[in-house]
Structures are given as structure tokens and as C-alpha cells.
């Protein structure tokens, strides 16, 4: 693996240290292990077609943007400077190597350091607390920014997380979080089963998983790993607390019962789940597994004969995928370089830069399907069903509640953290959801006391 790919992988290693609580080998919400000539032809002339890139900053006094993110110099180089250095030669970006949380902000402030741009790995609430929120709608409109260039659903997901409930755009998406269903062709062939296809429902996938679960030649095969299952909850657009009072709604909203019943159905496939099980798709003993494409497609071994299809859907919501929150960069209202920060971020959303990044294996936020389908084209050595990954529309974001809980692939994920305890508890779904209400009521009380 070359230095560039190692650097990209490190990004996800850092960002996903805040992965959902049950991520690991618990068997409940476990996550998967953790991107020229033709490229030049496709990229040539992309900028300027249906877009308006910012004018280059005047080359004068050097400008250094402090970037609050757990990224190294190499990662900032690939994500930002590699594509913008020529256009903005006087702008440099220095990463703090820190996550955007209250403790880290206080530490920087004590040193007299005020971040200009911030990777919001856990929402915008902490920026409100530190008086750093900067609404971007008017600033981008002044620049004639075309909001339709962002993939449908992404802006809605960001606006839904305005901590004041005003639907403002408080950050700029720089990288999508795309999850797909991965399947091992060799396992399916061993069981004589048909491969999964795009557009399958959860129940169709579960039934298929049952046909490829069992023992062959002394090896136990699991039909469906239970990684990233909580993203199915986001497809239902349900919120877990009352936005006004903070009262938990897990036992009251049928969507949560529906989700946990589905999880139980997966676990109840004979041989598919057991306490503390470790699912490892790359070892060839798991037939299907959900995974972040940025962590899988560019890095899985060439010897692994697999492909991907779209995320499973609920039967009554055909064509609706998860409502995922992209990696997002906010600009501090305390920054002295707001224009320069906007220059950089706006330029990174041009077709030219989105193509550059996605071909390296950074999932694009573009609404242009031809760009999305170029994912990892510069690093893949085989044809993959990338088109299928992007065949779904994002679900409507859940109603924002300042009391949470959010369901993120990085950052907090209370619902995901409850999958393994539920399966181990032996409780029926209604009983466990009532326990979740009681448990989360304590969390809400702590939030209220903190404020």
C-alpha cells in the first residue's frame, strides 16, 4: 500500500475512533475493518461547467487557516492542499489534530488559538455552546453558490441538525458517508444460492442470509453480519425524544419496535449470531456485511471475490436509503479569515475537485451521478457495482431534538449501542424499549443539568 493510500486510511482510523458505541466484536453493531490518463480526460474542463468557482484569493499576505480536525499534515495535503494550492497559493491549512469537543476547544482557547474551520464530528451543539456558529446560507448566496450541486438529502440532513431548530446551513459537506451491502461470491457459490441484487428489502436480505448460513467443510458460515444495522433506523426518520421536553419516545414510536424486531429476526437465523461473535468479512466466512465503502472497496484484498449492492430498504419505503450525515466543515464566526475559508471549501465542491477526490476513494457529495460512479476509479483493480450504491435516495431526516439521540456512523449512536444489550438480554422488544426509555431519561436529565 503506497503512502497516499495509507494516509487516506488513517483519516478513517482517526475519524472513526468515535464510531458507534457497540462497534467492535460484540456481534451487535460491529463495524468492518478499515482511498492517469483516463482521469485527466474526465477531469479536463470540469470546473466551470454548470458551476461558478470562487475567484483566486489575492496573492499577498500569507493566510493560515487553523483546521480543528484529527488529521495529520499528510491528510490535509490530500484532502485540501493538493487540489487548491495552485489556485490559492497564499493559503495554508494547519490541522490541530484534535476532535471538535468542548474540552479540546477550551484547551485551544487557553493557548490563544481560535480555529477557523472545524470538522464537526458530533453535530453543531458544541459550536453553539462556544459561540462559534456561523450560518452560511446568505454568504453562499452572495457567491451565487448552486445548492443543487449537492446530492439530494445531504443539505436537508445538515439543516435538520441546526441546534436552534431554524433549519440553517451551518457547515459545508466535504465527504459523503455511503454504506453498501457487501457480499462474498464464493460463499454464495458454496451454498448454491443466488447473489443479492440492488433494491432488495430487509426481509428479502434476511431470508437470503438464512440460505447461506451453516457449516460447510468444517467451516461455519454466517449469512449476514450485524454491522451498521442502526442505519436501518435512519430510513424510518424517527426521533427518539420529544424536542420540547426531552421525554424518550422509544416505547411510544412504532418505528423503534419495528427496527428491533428486524434485528432480532437477523439474530434468530440459526447459526448467524451468538454472544460476543466477531464477524470478519475479509476472512471469507461471512456471506453479507454492511460497510462504509470508503473503508472497504479501496482496501479489501484482490483475492476476496466480492461485490456490492444497494443498502437494503424497508418494504413500504422502496428506493429510500439511510439518512446519513456527511463529514462536514463549519466556519467559526470568530475567524478572521471567513472569506478565505469559504474560497477553499467552495472550490472543493467544484466538479473538478469532486472528481479528483472521489477517484482517490473519497465518497463525493455531488449530485452528478457521473461523478459518484467514479468512486475509487484510480485505485480499484476490478469492476464494482458502484452505480448500485447510489441508486437510493436519502431518507427524510428525523426531527431534530436537542436531547438526541442521533444515529451517526461516527460520533454518538445511542440506538446502535443498544443492539447487543438487547440481543443478550432475552427481553421481548416492548420490555427492552421501556428500559431504553428509563435509561435515556437519565441521559436527558444530565443534559438539562449541564445546560
Once rounded to an integer, what is the mean pLDDT over residues 61-67?
A: 94
Once rounded to an integer, what is the mean pLDDT over residues 47-66?
A: 62
196 falls within a domain: yes
Q: What DSSP string describes 171-201?
A: SEEEE---EEEEEEHHHHHHHT-PPP-TT-B
Question: What CATH code is carried by the domain that includes residue 137?
Answer: 3.40.190.10
Query: What is the DSSP pairing of strand 179-184 with strand 286-292?
Result: antiparallel
Same domain, 155 and 266: no
186 falls within a domain: yes
Sequence-ordered list of residues with C-beta below 8 angstroms from that of 50, at least 6 positions apart, any chain: 146, 149, 351
273 falls within a domain: yes
Same domain, 71 and 208: no
248 falls within a domain: yes
Once rounded to an integer, what is the mean pLDDT over residues 345-349?
A: 94
Largest CA distance in the chain: 70
Same domain, 173 and 184: no
pLDDT tens sequence across 142-165: 999 999 999 999 999 899 889 998
Same domain, 292 and 360: no
CA–CA gap between residue 6 and residue 4 (Å, rounded): 5
296 falls within a domain: yes
Cα–Cα–Cα angle for 100, 80, 42, rounded to 5 degrees: 135
Nearest to 341, CA basis, from 100, 74, 158, 84 = 84
Q: How many domains does the chain have?
A: 2
Nearest to 208, CA basis, from 219, 220, 192 = 192
Same domain, 80 and 128: yes
Stated length of the chain: 451
Same domain, 119 and 73: yes
65 touches 117 (CB < 8 A): yes
The answer to whether residue 270 scores a pLDDT higher than 80 is: yes
Domain containing 316 equals 179-323+413-450
Same domain, 319 and 441: yes
CA distances from 392 to 45, 126, 163, 370 (A): 29, 32, 28, 15
CA–CA gap between residue 298 and residue 13 (Å, rounded): 14
> What three-state secondary structure class fits 438?
helix
Same domain, 197 and 268: yes
pLDDT for 319 equals 97
Same domain, 132 and 223: no
Same domain, 102 and 156: yes
For residue 141, the Cα-to-chain-centroid distance in whole angstroms is 27
Same domain, 307 and 190: yes
pLDDT tens sequence across 202-220: 999 999 999 999 999 999 9
pLDDT for 121 equals 75
Same domain, 137 and 232: no
Q: DSSP class of residue 391?
A: S
397 falls within a domain: no
52 falls within a domain: no
284 falls within a domain: yes
Q: DSSP class of residue 80?
A: I
CA–CA gap between residue 82 and residue 75 (Å, rounded): 10
Amino acid at each position: 500500500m503506497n503512502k497516499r493510500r495509507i494516509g487516506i486510511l488513517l483519516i478513517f482510523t482517526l475519524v472513526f475512533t468515535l464510531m458507534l458505541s457497540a462497534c467492535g466484536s460484540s456481534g451487535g453493531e460491529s463495524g468492518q475493518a478499515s482511498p492517469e490518463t483516463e482521469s485527466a480526460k474526465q477531469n479536463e474542463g470540469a470546473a466551470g461547467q454548470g458551476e461558478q468557482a470562487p475567484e483566486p484569493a489575492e496573492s499577498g499576505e500569507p493566510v493560515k487557516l487553523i483546521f480543528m480536525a484529527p488529521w495529520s499534515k499528510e491528510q490535509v495535503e490530500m484532502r485540501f492542499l493538493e487540489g487548491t494550492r495552485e489556485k490559492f497559493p497564499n493559503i495554508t491549512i494547519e490541522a490541530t489534530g484534535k476532535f471538535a469537543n468542548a474540552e479540546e476547544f477550551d484547551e485551544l482557547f487557553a493557548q490563544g488559538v481560535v480555529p477557523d474551520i472545524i470538522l464537526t464530528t458530533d453535530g453543531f451543539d458544541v459550536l453553539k455552546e462556544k459561540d462559534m456558529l456561523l450560518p452560511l446560507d446568505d454568504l453562499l448566496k452572495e457567491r451565487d453558490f448552486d445548492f443543487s450541486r449537492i446530492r439530494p438529502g445531504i443539505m436537508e440532513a445538515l439543516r435538520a441538525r441546526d441546534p436552534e431548530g431554524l433549519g440553517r446551513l451551518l457547515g459545508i459537506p466535504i465527504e459523503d458517508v455511503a454504506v453498501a451491502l457487501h457480499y462474498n461470491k464464493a460463499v454464495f457459490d458454496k451454498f448454491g444460492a443466488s447473489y443479492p441484487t440492488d433494491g432488495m428489502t430487509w426481509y428479502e436480505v434476511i431470508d437470503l442470509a438464512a440460505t447461506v448460513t451453516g457449516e460447510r467443510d468444517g467451516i461455519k458460515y454466517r449469512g449476514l453480519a450485524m454491522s451498521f444495522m442502526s442505519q436501518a433506523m435512519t430510513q424510518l426518520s424517527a426521533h427518539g425524544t420529544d424536542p420540547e421536553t426531552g421525554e424518550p419516545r422509544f416505547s411510544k414510536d412504532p418505528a423503534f419496535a419495528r427496527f428491533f424486531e428486524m434485528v432480532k429476526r437477523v439474530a434468530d437465523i440459526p447459526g448467524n449470531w451468538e454472544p460476543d461473535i466477531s464477524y470478519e468479512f475479509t476472512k471469507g466466512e461471512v456471506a453479507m456485511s454492511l460497510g462504509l465503502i470508503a473503508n472497504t472497496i479501496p482496501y479489501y484484498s484482490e483475492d476476496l471475490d466480492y461485490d456490492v449492492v444497494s443498502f437494503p430498504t424497508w418494504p413500504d419505503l422502496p428506493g429510500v436509503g439511510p439518512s446519513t450525515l456527511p463529514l462536514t466543515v463549519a466556519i467559526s464566526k470568530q475567524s478572521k479569515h471567513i472569506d478565505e475559508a469559504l474560497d477553499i471549501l467552495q472550490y472543493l465542491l467544484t466538479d473538478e475537485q469532486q472528481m479528483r477526490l472521489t477517484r482517490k476513494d473519497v465518497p463525493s457529495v455531488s449530485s452528478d451521478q457521473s461523478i459518484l460512479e467514479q468512486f475509487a476509479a484510480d485505485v480499484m483493480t476490478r469492476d464494482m457495482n458502484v452505480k448500485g450504491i447510489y441508486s437510493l435516495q436519502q431518507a427524510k431526516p428525523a426531527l431534530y431534538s436537542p436531547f438526541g439521540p442521533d444515529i451517526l456512523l461516527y460520533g454518538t449512536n445511542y440506538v446502535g449501542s443498544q443492539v447487543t444489550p438487547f440481543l443478550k438480554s432475552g427481553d421481548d422488544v416492548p420490555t427492552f424499549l421501556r428500559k431504553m426509555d428509563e435509561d435515556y431519561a437519565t441521559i436527558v436529565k444530565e443534559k438539562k443539568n449541564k445546560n
